A and B are shown apart, each in its own frame.
Chain A
């Protein structure tokens, strides 16, 4: 059985649920969002990722209706939403602070939005109970928000924002207040709920791991602009810029000048006295163009003997070892003084580890392991 791949962004026929068209938002002289266009599709779990102050929260507040774009238009199901006030939008938001009403019980919090629609009492009760079941909060229905734990509050906030079955659910740093273990469990719970309800989720986060885990696509933002919008694996493996490569995960950046050496092959001169590196890249570079090679530490192999047949191999000396339990990161100093990080999985017990401080080692990687990026 083959599962159809969910990627409406590659389907030219698909109609986006949300469209940002050349949206600009200014606060006084400060430009928070700068001429930004973006399509988000139905049933997507879309992550807006960036450092604080990059404009991701402003994007979300414009979708919720708390801010209006200074220029440009935002469409929800092909309808311009600028004139629609927040309470009339088929969009619900889960707030960063959860914003649970402290004077209402968990049950009343979840029912709050439903009661505004003047639904019959019976319907409301049924829907609230359904939400309580979905978020496993049945036991806490009568408690007040201050009588439950942080993780439970987070689930109440989620249940409350899902209760009205919105077309679009906005999540503003939803897991920020939880500790790491609970956060990881909750990430999978979120994905599960998103799949079950079929709601389109847009999540704002500054935690790249969280974005990579939950999202179908990630938009990396910087200074009010989208730097790259792609699936998590493409963002990680094929960053389109130094900014994205550096922002997502750990990376070695090697500066040098490229010269073509074959079909999609380049040789990168990077340090005097060292052999140029062999890199393949589908992006073309001209002779002598300065560029950066971004290579993930886990794609660099560390060995005691000089490897044979490797595309690139450099000698060095172990400078530092970061032992994280499951993996170790070796900081290897090259004769030129540059430091390259190499990561290996600790498949053996630590007592039998092959390398220690000051050991001479060889680092090697294939021509396709890294990405060549222009300035």
Chain B
């Protein structure tokens, strides 16, 4: 009996917080838009029965997603922005994680605190702060112009560059922490052994440090890539009108067009796209756990 309860809890959790909402969204995606409240039909009606209700559902909205090129372009653009941001976050995060792991032991808690500290303020406020830094009259341009390095301000805000900066800034800790965890466990004698066997410092890094922190790199990349793909706040606040991301399209379908069925269809497809990296991520975590045993 206790075992049944123990197993039931996570499944109930999954059912209540994932499967039920997903079923609702899927049902809306299969409905038609209507000027009504809620803005879609059909509504379930006890009188006509379940079969009449199901008969009215169709895949019209999914077909529509393939007909208008806005959607697949937005998906592709999101994938590109997420991939490029992940690469930049890795390039920036790896040296930071390496520095953390190599820092004197008594310094590490403080340094890790500094990495986590931004989470103590609201995400929204931090993105607004970046608007203040990146705008034409912002801190960055004023600073560069006072120094006389540039005559006219750089246009950064409302471009894709600003989106990249925002994403890399926001998701950097998610990259640093898993890589740090992997590097911290690395036995220093392994690097010495590699050098002893004829590796230069760089070769030892490439042949020993990188492979042994691979699990951390993969975990960090997924932790950045997965939420970035559906990111809405950063592109809508820092990006321009030509910044195309699926999260923004989704928001507009819901709130500007009030087309809940199409918006739901967009969300369902986004989820399907995300399943691939999520499954890969899970497999990576599992493999790592097995290797540690």
Interface residues of A (CB under 8 A from B): 64-66, 85-87, 91-93, 95-97, 99, 101-103, 112-113, 116-117, 146, 160-161, 164
Contacts and interface: CB of A to CB of B under 8 A. Distances in A.
A164 B194 CA distance: 13
B212 A164 contact: no
B187 A97 contact: yes
Contacts of B190: 99, 101
A103 B187 contact: no
Given A102-B291, A116-B199, 15 more contacts: A65-B196, A86-B192, A86-B195, A87-B199, A93-B196, A95-B189, A95-B192, A97-B189, A99-B187, A99-B189, A101-B194, A116-B197, A116-B198, A161-B196, A161-B197
- Give me the 4 closest cross-chain CB pairs, A-B, nearest first: A113-B197, A116-B198, A99-B193, A99-B189
Nearest to A86: B195
10 contacts: A97-B187, A99-B190, A99-B192, A101-B193, A102-B291, A113-B197, A113-B198, A116-B198, A161-B197, A164-B198
B212 A116 contact: no
Nearest to B188: A99
Contact of B200 (A87, A99, A113): A87
A160 B192 contact: no
B196 A101 contact: no
A164 B193 contact: no
Contact of B197 (A65, A96, A103, A112): A112
Contacts of B187: 97, 99
Most buried by B among A66, A86, A91, A103: A86
Interface residues of B, number: 19
Interface of B: 187, 189-190, 192-200, 203, 207-208, 211-212, 214, 291
Nearest to B197: A113
Contact of B196 (A86, A97, A103): A86
A24 to B, nearest CB: 23
A183 B190 CA distance: 24
Contacts of A99: 187, 189-190, 192-193
A164 B197 contact: yes
Contact of A117 (B193, B196, B198, B212): B198
A87 B212 contact: no
Contacts of B208: 101
A160 B197 contact: yes
Contacts of B193: 93, 95, 99, 101
A113 B189 CA distance: 15
B196 to A, nearest CB: 5
A144 to B, nearest CB: 9
A96 B187 CA distance: 12
A97 B291 CA distance: 19
A240 to B, nearest CB: 34
A93 to B, nearest CB: 5
B45 to A, nearest CB: 61
A160 B194 CA distance: 11
Nearest to A116: B198
Nearest to B208: A101
A66 B201 CA distance: 12
A102 B209 CA distance: 11
Contacts of A116: 197-199, 203
A112 B196 contact: no
Contacts of A95: 189, 192-193
Contact of B198 (A64, A87, A97, A102): A87
B189 A87 contact: no
A117 B197 CA distance: 9
A85 B195 CA distance: 9
